[in-house]
Structure 1
Amino acid sequence: MNLDFTTVLPSIPYILEGIGITLQIVLAATVIGFLLGILLALFKIGRIKLLRWIADVYTSIFRGTPLVLQLMIIYYAIPQLLDIQIDPIPAAILAFGLNSGAYISEIIRGGINAVDKGQQEAALALGIPYFKMMKDIILPQALKNILPALMNEFITLNKESAIVTVIGALDIMRRAYVVGGSTFRYLEPLLIAGVIYYIMTLILTFLGKMLEKRMRRSD
């Protein structure tokens, strides 16, 4: 095999610097997606038809179109329409957050529906306000049930973040591409990037299992 890592080894620290950019995008987008997902899930299970319709349309659009398309619309089209400038990282955070919110809302909705209906009926019978009931009784139980699915979404988001290379954000993948262009050897830096993503996935998977075990022990 025509592999020669000697020319790209000095560039490994440069590629590793992309981990910070990747985690910045993923963590911020996860927070946005989680909060948005809770809101959309509450809309979907609520009694207001307009809010249910808005949540369903939102989820349908963001789950039915490619993430890279949503990213490019935010980065290229919105500045064109509004005559503003959006930097790559904020654009990526917004795109991933909005997209993740659609998927997380379905996960949370399923978790809420899995909680015994009798608890909600008992809380309402005791006069507990709907918001307080959801915050203190229903959502905590739902989150314990859906934690594996949430961690899987987080891991998927970490891998999908590689598409930010199309808008020039200097994440792991983009830096690997830059190294390939400067050394005229693309396979080696791409393999290094793949190993980095794989190790990050293993670490996140391990942390997710540890968190799941801790939450089970707290029951």
Structure 2
Amino acid sequence: MLTEFAQWLTALGGRFHTAFVEGDRWKLYLEGLGVTLGMTVVALILGMVLGVVVAVIRTAHDQQRPKQHNFLLGILNLICKIYTTIIRGTPMMVQILIWGFVIFASSRNKFMVGIIGLGINSGAYVAEIVRGGLMSVDMGQMEAGRSLGLGYLDTMRFIVIPQAFKNILPSLGNEFITLFKDTSLVNAIGAAELTYQAMRIGGRTYDYMPPLIGSAVMYLVIVIIFTWLQGILERRLRQSDRR
């Protein structure tokens, strides 16, 4: 029994050696991880910009005074609602396939296509997160800013958004982690991120288990690090509130 177990461990070690060490294949994993992290950061920035713009438009529309509705704001709010409904109501995989094989079918820059798909998807979720945070801030804060002579945008920028940020930080952190894991979906359009490299190595060695397990461990380690950093930031914000 022990002999068979030792033989199994030896064979397993040989499989992982082939998948990671032989031919310096570990460099491909690091290259894929770098692409994954870069894609996550850029897509999150795009998602944050889109999300904040959509959230501000929808919040401004919802906070209009009775019988003083702005027609242009109503049109923009309708566009934003359609955007969030479509993006949140369809699978991300389908969206990425549409971006990669329909809208940008002739593009060879799959990295940029992946960023666009991920960023636009993230923007819809960030918009609802930010809108919830803005709506959670007491209306008196907005009225106080307007009474000081600040315009709507300046009041949002200097008074409302800083307060809302503390409320939405945990949700934004979770969105970042989700986005990091969802980068694996752009493998479907040929972007050379971590999962793509793992599948590529599995195809070369005719053994998919070691590269996929290894990539899963890499995702897990990065997520644990992100979660730890998020917890530190949240604790510091709570301490600043007490002061």
TM bucket normalised to smaller: over 0.9
Match 1:5 to one of 9, 16, 21: 16
2:85 aligned partner: 60
Instruction: Kindly provide the CA deviation profile for residues 18-46 of structure 1, in whole angstroms up to 9, marking residues without a partner as x.
Output: 11100111000000000110000011112
- Which one is further off, 164-173 or 89-98? 164-173
Counterpart mapping for 1:178-217 below 5 A: 178-217=200-239
Match of 1:90 in 2: 112
* 2:66 paired residue number: none
Question: 2:187: which partner in 1?
Answer: 165
Question: Could you tell me which residue of structure 2 aligns to residue 100 of structure 1?
Answer: 122
Q: What corresponds to 2:35 in structure 1?
A: 21
Counterpart of 1:44 in structure 2 is 58
Q: Is contact 2:104-2:113 (8 Å) kept?
A: no
Task: Give identity over the alignment, percent.
Answer: 40
AA partner of residue 90 (structure 1): M
Q: Aligned letter for 2:126?
A: I
The 2-side partners of 1:71 and 1:199 are apart by 25
Question: What 5-or-longer segments of structure 2 have no aligned partner?
Answer: 1-7, 62-72
Aligned pair count reads: 216
Question: How far apart in 2 are the matches of 1:86 and 1:168?
Answer: 9
3-state SS of 1:185 partner:
coil
User: 196-205 or 115-124: which moved more?
Assistant: 115-124
State the Cα distance separating 1:86 from its structure 2 match: 4.7
2:5 aligned residue: none
Of 153, 164, 169 in structure 2, the residue corresponding to residue 142 of structure 1 is 164
> 1:25-36, aligned counterparts within 5 Å?
25-36=39-50
Aligned equivalents of 1:21, 1:189: Cα separation in 2: 17
Larger deviation, residues 26-35 vs 165-174: 165-174
The structure with more radius of gyration:
2
In 2, distance between residues paired with 1:165 and 1:173?
A: 6
Q: Tell me, in whole angstroms, the C-alpha distance in 2 between the residues paired with 1:137 and 1:162.
A: 38
Question: Quick one: distance in 2 between partners of 1:85 and 1:175?
Answer: 20
Aligned counterpart, 1:77:
102
CA RMSD of aligned residues (A): 1.4
What TM-score do you get using the length of structure 2 for normalisation?
Answer: 0.85
Deviation of the 1:73 alpha carbon: 1.4
Any stretches of 5+ residues in structure 1 without a counterpart?
A: none
Q: C-alpha displacement at 1:126, in angstroms?
A: 2.4
Q: How far 1:6 moved relative to its partner?
A: 2.5
